[in-house]
Amino acid sequence: LSSFAATGEPSAVRVGDRSVGGGSFTWIAGPCAVESADQLMTVARDVRARGAHLLRGGAFKPRTSPYAFQGLGTDGLALLRDAAAATGLGVVTEVVDAAHVEAVAEVADVLQIGTRNAQNFPLLREVALTGRPVLLKRGFGCTVKEWLHSAEYLLAAGNGNVLLCERGVRTFEDASRFTLDITAVPLLKRLSHLPVIVDPSHACGHADLVAPLAAAAAVAGADGVMVDVDEEGRTALCDGKQAITPDAFGALVARTARILHSA
Ligand code: PEP
């Protein structure tokens, strides 16, 4: 891989007043999908109070089934804007269609490219041209090299503000939703200077597996973790089984801080 993403001094990406990478550990937390003003505001306040640096939440949801909840779209973006204003958290939200890039970029501090669009090169280019930080998820069928080539599309379009996000790959194992490739973390540290985020929620699909995988990511050298958090006992319209409660999130932040401190 001859590239901009290749080895060099580890880079940090500026998101508002936060530096992601470069020695800090960043928590991105929030619901899988934005579902209502109440839900989002409650979760945003809860995760903020427990140590989140950035708020995640999908307004445009790329669902496997066309009959599943597809997200609130532009209404969801407006709710993200309100939650960001109320909490001071920067927003990470996905863009699934080049036609939405402008609207998403008005609200998002970080534009997320999901696993299903990791090799949608025209979309990568459009997103890169906003100049905004991009969180690039790994395609669940992509090798590390292919993933870095996708990152290269962003960098080659002049946008160096790229966060790589490992979110599990498809393997023969079906006891978890995908298989978190923890090896990718130290591997990327060798192959690239870009910050590495891990999303254990979408990798495993089960709330009770999220904390150990997040801890493993921190120990493996990740620059941060992105995790689905939703109100306790809520039946989420999207990926509800993998959401942890705000209190579980708080415990995870504290435990990871202890692990990183003692490492
Ligand atoms: C998400 O983070 O909301 C998401 C849909 O993740 P992925 O693209 O990794 O499935």
66-96 per-position pLDDT tens digit: 999 999 999 999 999 999 999 999 999 999 9
Contact 115 CB / ligand 1 (< 6 Å): yes
Write the pLDDT tens digit of every residue in 30-62.
999 999 999 999 999 999 999 999 999 999 999
pLDDT at 238: 84
> Which residue reads 């306790």 in tokens?
232
Asked whether residue 231 is assigned to any structural domain, the reply reads yes
Q: Which residue among 202, 229, 230, 237 has the greatest number of ligand 1 atoms within 8 angstroms of its CB, and so is best to mutate? A: 202
**φ and ψ at residue 8, rounded to 5 degrees:** 180, -170
CATH number at residue 64: 3.20.20.70
CB neighbour class for 235 (10 Å; exposed up to 12, middle 13-18, buried from 19)? exposed
Asked whether residue 6 is assigned to any structural domain, the reply reads no
Q: Which of 60, 44, 64 is nearest to 52 (CA)?
A: 44
CA-to-CA separations, 111 to 33, 72, 155, 181, in angstroms, rounded: 15, 17, 14, 23
Gap from CA of 184 to ligand 1 centroid (Å): 18
Q: How many domains does the chain have?
A: 1
Contact 202 CB / ligand 1 (< 6 Å): yes
Write the pLDDT tens digit of every residue in 163-175.
999 999 999 999 9
Q: What's at 29, amino acid-wise?
A: A
Distance CA 162, CA 170 (A): 23
Asked whether residue 2 is assigned to any structural domain, the reply reads no
Asked whether residue 142 is assigned to any structural domain, the reply reads yes
Contact 94 CB / ligand 1 (< 6 Å): yes
Looking at the CA of residue 115, tell me the nearest atom of ligand 1: 8
Asked whether residue 48 is assigned to any structural domain, the reply reads yes
Distance CA 132, CA 14 (A): 10
> Which residue reads 């790589």 in tokens?
164
Distance CA 27, CA 48 (A): 10
Gap from CA of 61 to ligand 1 centroid (Å): 8
Domain that holds residue 255: 12-262
Distance CA 47, CA 120 (A): 32
Write the residue with the smallest CA distance to atom 6 of ligand 1: 114
- Characterize the bridge pairing of strands 18-21 and 12-15: antiparallel
To the question of pTM greater than 0.80 for the whole model, the response is yes
Q: What average pLDDT score do residues 137-145 get?
A: 98
Asked whether residue 127 is assigned to any structural domain, the reply reads yes
Distance CA 5, CA 22 (A): 15
Asked whether residue 187 is assigned to any structural domain, the reply reads yes
Inter-helix orientation angle 207-220/184-191, to 10°: 30
Asked whether residue 20 is assigned to any structural domain, the reply reads yes
